[in-house]
Amino acid sequence: MAGSATKDDTDRTTLIIGAGSTLAGALIRQLAAEADGGRIVAISRRPAPTPGAAVHWITCDYSEQHIASTCAKLMTYQGSVQRVYLFNGQLHNTDLLPEKRLEDLSERCLQSILHSNTIVPALWLARLPTLLRGPRHCVVTLLSARVGSINDNQLGGWYSYRMSKAALNMLVKTAAIEYQRRAENVSLMAYHPGTVDTPLSKPFQSRVPEDKLFSPQRAATYLTQCCDGIKPGQSGLYRDWRGEDIAW
Ligand SMILES: NC(=O)c1ccc[n+]([C@@H]2O[C@H](COP(=O)([O-])OP(=O)(O)OC[C@H]3O[C@@H](n4cnc5c(N)ncnc54)[C@H](OP(=O)(O)O)[C@@H]3O)[C@@H](O)[C@H]2O)c1
């Protein structure tokens, strides 16, 4: 039955995809420091930052083929995975800034931002049911953003980022329906971490009140608390760092 205990509850794996993210780094450090943090498997385009026995680091270029072969390797952890985090996402990079007005839209920017925020997570979600299905409750969290909420959009701008996160949210809602049939033990959640002090938010922090700019460590704590609050059977969620639902 979904959510019931497995034979060996001490054999627990956390899968962290997009592990080069600053927020992911804080989560990895936090889990690695916990005595019962379980096994950590980290996946990234980048090489492991510092070799550590606590983390099994796998590099992946996020091509469809490489995602498929990585998922095949991950099958050794089948039955033990209880948390999956997908951190992939970009707001800007060395070439691209978030659009302020329609004239700023470009095919290149749209393709690049949609690729990292939506397409890469979608390719992972498509491959994960076989690995994740089983008796153990597993929470899969995709890093979204409140600006992906269509209801909440009062300010406009940031077209490609908003579009990519709104599409990610729809991915979560739609995949949750299929996972109910194919891996009913899995809870899917789109998650807004608040504004976190990382390179992604750096250029846009000036108007953020000090108490609303979270350190990556604090954001990692909120993230794990929110995941711990999800019960078996709950899925297709869109929640923030307080654990509160966000209007889609
Ligand atoms: N920081 C905030 O205030 C904030 C607020 C709301 C939502 N978020 C979301 O939280 C997540 C993590 O953000 P962060 O602040 O930790 O950002 P970050 O440090 O800039 O991390 C960037 C993430 O995006 C991935 N990435 C970058 N370029 C990519 C590409 N071309 N293709 C695929 N993946 C790519 C990286 O994966 P690799 O490990 O492979 O490099 C990494 O996981 C993002 O999805 C972001 O939208 C952040």
Which residue is associated with the tokens 């096994």?
39
Indicate the top mutation candidate among 41, 114, 143, 161 to test ligand 1's pocket, ranked by most ligand atoms within 8 A of CB. Answer: 143
pLDDT value at residue 28: 95
How far is the centre of ligand 1, averaged over its atoms, from the C-alpha of 74 (Å)? 22
Measured CA to CA, the distance from residue 47 to residue 35 in angstroms comes to 25
Nearest atom, ligand 1, residue 199 CA: 20
Element holding 142 (H helix, E strand): strand 138-143
Pocket of ligand 1 (CB under 6 A): 18-24, 44-46, 62, 87-90, 116, 120, 143, 145, 192-193, 195-196, 198-201
Assigned domain for 247 exists: no
What is the separation of C-alpha 44 from the centre of its chain, rounded to a whole number of angstroms?
A: 13
Q: Looking at ligand 1, which atom is closest to the CA of residue 196? A: 3
Domains contained in the chain, number: 1
pLDDT at residue 3 in the model: 42
Radius of gyration of the chain from its Cα atoms, rounded to whole angstroms: 17
4 belongs to a structural domain: no
Q: What is the CATH number of the domain that holds 138?
A: 3.40.50.720
Residue 156 CB coordination number (10 Å): 11
**pLDDT recorded at residue 65:** 98
Q: Which residues of the chain have pLDDT under 50?
A: 1-7
Task: State the residue range of the domain holding 107.
Answer: 13-240
In a domain, 5, yes or no: no
Q: Is residue 129 part of a domain?
A: yes
6 within a domain of the structure (yes/no): no
Nearest residue CA, atom 1 of ligand 1? Answer: 196
Model pTM score = 0.96
Question: What pLDDT is attached to residue 5?
Answer: 42
Choose the residue to mutate in 27, 41, 152, 198 for probing ligand 1, maximizing ligand atoms within 8 Å of C-beta.
Answer: 198
Pocket test for ligand 1, best of 27, 62, 116 (most atoms within 8 A of CB): 116
Q: Specify if 70 maps to a domain.
A: yes
Tell me what pLDDT residue 51 has: 62
Give a yes or no: residue 8 inside a domain: no
User: 217-236 b/e with 16+ CB inside 10 Å = b?
Assistant: ebbbbbbbebbeebebeebb
What would the pLDDT profile of 194-217 be if each residue is shown by its tens digit? 999 999 999 999 889 989 999 999
Taking the CA of residue 195 as reference, the ligand 1 atom at the shortest distance is 3
With respect to residue 2, please indicate whether it lies within any of the assigned structural domains. Answer: no
